[in-house]
Structure 1
Amino acid sequence: MPSRRAALIAFGTGVAAATAGCLEQLQPGATKPPIDGPCAPAPETWSTAGGDAGRTGQTATAAPPADADSSPLRLGTREESGRRLASSTPAIGNGTAFVSVAGGVVAAMPGDEPRWAADLEDQFDAVPAVGCGVVFAAGLNETVALDPDTGEVLWRRDGGSHEETTVAYRDGTLYVGTHGPRVLDARTGEERWRADGGQTLAVSDDGVYAAEFSNGEGDLYGYDPDGEERFHLSLGKIVGSPTVADGTVYVVDNDGTVHAVDAVTGAMDWSQSSLDNGKLFTGLAVRDGTLVLPAGHGSTSYGIDTATGEVLWAQQTAMVTGRPVVGPDWVAFGRTNVGVAVYDLETGEHRRTWSREAYDLGVIRGLVPVQDGLIVDGGGPTGLSLLS
């Protein structure tokens, strides 16, 4: 079994390879970096909330071994407020976990101290995004691009958000969910287009999908890649971000009703509302024809057929308030008050569990995969732990 440090470093190796040559051409304060053509593709890693711009929750890594151990990831301290606490789950890149904290962003690695801490004088709640060789983060009032090795600000632009799933990177473009998507050139921060509806977002080849809930109403907006609105649906108390995969957009409301919507036309493919789960506060995951719905504040999590909306399996996971992680043949749930558990993606059969008490995992808010392991967001004083 690789060491805990090796697990993170090995997982991030592909990031450096995929983005080589992009970072050194990006200069602080530049308005027109000397890059011919688009940035390199986003690395095959957990580059932002939901793992990718589509918020699918997918990973190519292996689940932790049965004899896994846990160790903390230190975020350091601030003189005026003591220990830093994570405001979000991390994005992973270049062997490092990039974490939003009150006042900025921290680059954490296994060990006693973080790699760096960028104090940015804003409240950062969104999960960062890794792409084009840089780290992007959105605070309440601004969006910044940071050097992943030093935390130096490469560019900053007014406008941010407090939603966790508000930043996504794809093909040289940065998407920020403010009061509607704001689309920026990843190299300069220059605005390409903006729209009016939606705060959380997901992105695919077909377009940009934004959701919001306000004044008792939930809305899903579909935009084409150039920002023209294709559809606008009112679907109840939508929670988390949309998930988009294989031409379909999936959203879930606070009562556990799941909707599958055609990504181009906005036509409703199916809705599933006969599930016995509790109030939800997060998004979904999808892979190989299975949509995974967490239990929320209930006790049952589900695997759902993406083509029909029919239930494939149901598991008594106990409360799950974070997005599931789906590997090649497995799904992991952060069971809020119980621990981390892995199940078979196709059948829902339980494989193994790491208890919250035995591994000091805290009250689990979310999971992020690394090679042969998971980072567990234990919230509050427990913070982030590497389970590998």
Structure 2
Amino acid sequence: MPSRRAFLAAIGTGVAGGLAGCIDGSGGAPSPGSDESTEWPVRNYDRYGTASVPDAAVPRSEPGERFSTPLDGTPRERPIVAGGRVFQPTWAGIEALNAESGEKLWTYPEGSDEGASFYPSPAVHDGTAYVGTESGFVALDTEDGEERWRVETDGRVTASPVPGPEWDALYVGTGYGEVLRVAPDGDVEWRTSVYGEVTHLVAAQIAGVTAATSGGELFNLYDGRGLWRQKVPGKVTAVAGQTGNDLFVATFGGGVLKLRTAAHAGRVAWHAENGPVADGALVLADGAVFGGDLSGIHRLDAGDGTLGWELGDDTYSVAAAGDTLYTGTDGAVVARRLSGGTGVGGARVNAERFRYGVGEEASVMGVTPADGALFVGVSDRGDGEERLVALE
């Protein structure tokens, strides 16, 4: 019988590839997930950036702790879960832990290396973690954190890497507007430049990648050449795509837009001017687009952008699994029904499934549903203890 780690590694790509891009994998109302072995291999789950795992079995009622492990640095962005390990980006580096026990395994770079401080969430596949740093793009052995290869970049890597179909290559973007396509062996297949810092990447089409920038533009690239370019009303803070050539784009101060791609070349299908900033992720699930900011969680209809509901307050991270939306806030992890319960607008009942407290002066900076648990990066301003918590 294969080991648990081997089983996770074997199914990871199949789960991501089979469900990628679907707003509603069931074709009807979402149902609770039943698979306790799902992975979350890239920042927003898949190359489409959907931030939703329809079949993941994670807590839907008040959970207990699988573990709580101190971190060396303040957590930033969400943890990645793959191959039985958790990879938490912090200001100290990429900290790797055992997903079952929380045992600390290694940190990249080592404590004596002061050459880097910015670490977006890595991409992890087949025993390799692909990591962006201040000066390059590196591949690490997930067993011990040792470098396998390094590609020097023009400035620091600012956008978490995303894979192409079947992980045939990785796309990476930098603060100076450089976009690279890198083969799994470290060979740079092409480099090109766009205008402005690259904030997000999605590979929603069969070939190529879409790069979003801090200057409020999206560039669709194929083989290093631009296919189309679209201006949006503000810095791009999140992007997600779906099959059928649609992109959903959140901006800073400019709302959320739906863009038609392929032959439509980025044409705007709708614009929800009061949509959330959604810093980091938009969730595509249940025929809707979910995003959070300091005013709470918003549900927008994916078809026309109308507001379904708005709930909660400060929100730092958002992800979906099965029929549940998970958010990181000040002091708690909150699980809500994707439907938002019953009611009109923000006046709703039966919306929450649970609210798990992490401390009055703590903030949940990242939530990741995978491996039968909810992995949570916690920054505590009270006692100063930064930690990774797994809830099950």
Task: Please classify the TM superposition score into its range, dividing by the shorter chain length.
Answer: 0.7 to 0.9
- Tell whether the 8 Å contact from 1:132 to 1:172 is kept in structure 2 after alignment: no
* Counterpart pick for 2:89 among 100, 103, 108: 100
The 8 Å contact of residues 241 and 283 in structure 1, kept in 2 or not, is answered as yes
Check conservation: 1:130, 1:169, Cα contact below 8 A.
Answer: no
Where does residue 116 of structure 1 map in the other structure? 106
Structure 1 residues 35-184: aligned runs within 5 Å: 45-59=39-53, 60-70=55-65, 72-74=67-69, 83-102=72-91, 104-109=93-98, 110-111=100-101, 113-119=103-109, 121=113, 122-159=116-153, 161-163=156-158, 165-170=159-164, 171-178=167-174, 179-184=177-182
Q: CA deviation at 1:71?
A: 5.2
* Counterpart-to-counterpart distance in 2, 1:119 and 1:219: 33
Instruction: Give yes or no for the alignment of 1:227 onto 2:244.
Output: no
Residue by residue over 1:28-80, the C-alpha shift from the partner in whole angstroms, topping out at 9 and shown as x without a partner, is xxxxxxxxxxxxxxx9621011111211101131231423113555366xxxx
SS of aligned partner of 1:126: coil
In the TM superposition, residue 88 of structure 1 has moved relative to its aligned partner by: 3.5
SS of match in other structure, 2:104: coil
Pair 1:11–1:154, CA change in 2 (3 A): closer
| Structure 2 equivalent of residue 343 of structure 1 | 336
Q: How many pairs were matched up?
A: 338
Q: How much does 1:103 deviate?
A: 5.3
2:41/2:82 contact within 8 Å kept: yes
Decide which of 290, 301, 305 is 1:292's aligned counterpart: 290
Structure 1 segments unaligned to the other structure (5+ residues): 1-8, 20-42, 77-82
Q: Which has the higher contact order (CA 8 A, sep 6+)?
A: 2
Mark the CA change 1:204 to 1:44 in structure 2 (over 3 Å): closer, same or farther.
farther
Aligned to 2:203: 203
Q: Does the aligned pair in 2 maintain the 1:251–1:260 contact within 8 Å? A: yes
The Cα of 1:181 is off from its aligned counterpart by 1.8
Per the alignment, residue 190 of structure 2 pairs with 193
What is aligned with 1:257?
Answer: 255
Task: Give the counterpart letter for 2:105 in structure 1.
Answer: R
Task: Assess if the C-alpha contact under 8 Å between 1:303 and 1:348 holds in 2.
Answer: no
Residues 85 and 101 of structure 1 are in contact (CA less than 8 Å); yes or no, is this contact kept in structure 2? yes
Task: State the match for 2:324 in structure 1.
Answer: 330
- C-alpha distance after superposition, 1:141-172 (max 9, x if no partner): 01111111121211111126353x42112322
Of all paired residues, the percent bearing the same amino acid is: 20
Give the Cα separation in 1 of the matches to 2:10 and 2:108: 21
Equivalent of 1:238 in 235, 256, 261: 235
> Are 1:305 and 2:298 matched, yes or no?
no
Per-residue Cα deviation, 1:290-323 (whole angstroms, up to 9, x for no partner): 11121x1113x22222121122x2132211122x
Separation in 2 of the partners of 1:176 and 1:134?
Answer: 16
The code of the aligned residue for 1:383 comes to: R
Question: Match of 2:310?
Answer: 315
Residue aligned with 2:284, SS: strand
Give the Cα separation in 2 of the matches to 1:162 and 1:287.
Answer: 29
1:36 corresponding residue in structure 2: none
- Contact 1:74/1:111, CA 8 A, preserved across alignment: no
Contact 1:340 1:356 in 2 (8 A): yes
Taking a change above 3 Å as real, the CA distance of residues 55 and 12 of structure 1, as seen in their structure-2 partners, is: farther
CA deviations on 1:94-143 (whole Å, 9 max, x unpaired) are 11101234454221125464122332633341101012431111101011
> Which string of whole-angstrom CA distances, capped at 9 and with x for unpartnered residues, describes residues 238-258 of structure 1?
343321112111111112611
Q: CA RMSD of the aligned region, Å?
A: 2.8
Mapped partners of 2:226, 2:289: distance in 1: 26
Unaligned runs of 5+ in 2: 14-36, 343-350
Q: Is the 8 A contact 1:75 1:113 kept in 2?
A: no
Of 116-125 and 337-346, more deviation after overlay is shown by 116-125
Which stretch shows the higher mean deviation, 103-112 or 49-58? Answer: 103-112
Indicate conservation of the 8 Å contact 2:60/2:354, yes or no: no
> In structure 1, how many angstroms separate the alpha carbons of the residues matched to 2:353 and 2:12?
33
- Return the alpha-carbon distance in structure 2 between the equivalents of residues 87 and 147 of structure 1: 22
Distance in 1 (CA, whole Å) between partners of 2:301 and 2:193 is: 33
1:372 and 1:135 map into 2 onto residues whose CA distance is 21
The one-letter code matched in structure 2 to 1:325 is A
Code of the aligned partner of 2:299: G
Deviation (angstroms), 1:347:
4.6
Cα distance, 1:305–1:65 mapped onto 2, change above 3 Å: closer
SS, match of residue 365 in structure 1: strand
Cα distance in 2 between the residues matched to 1:127 and 1:85: 13
Q: Which amino acid aligns with 2:377?
A: D
Change (3 A) 1:108 1:233: same
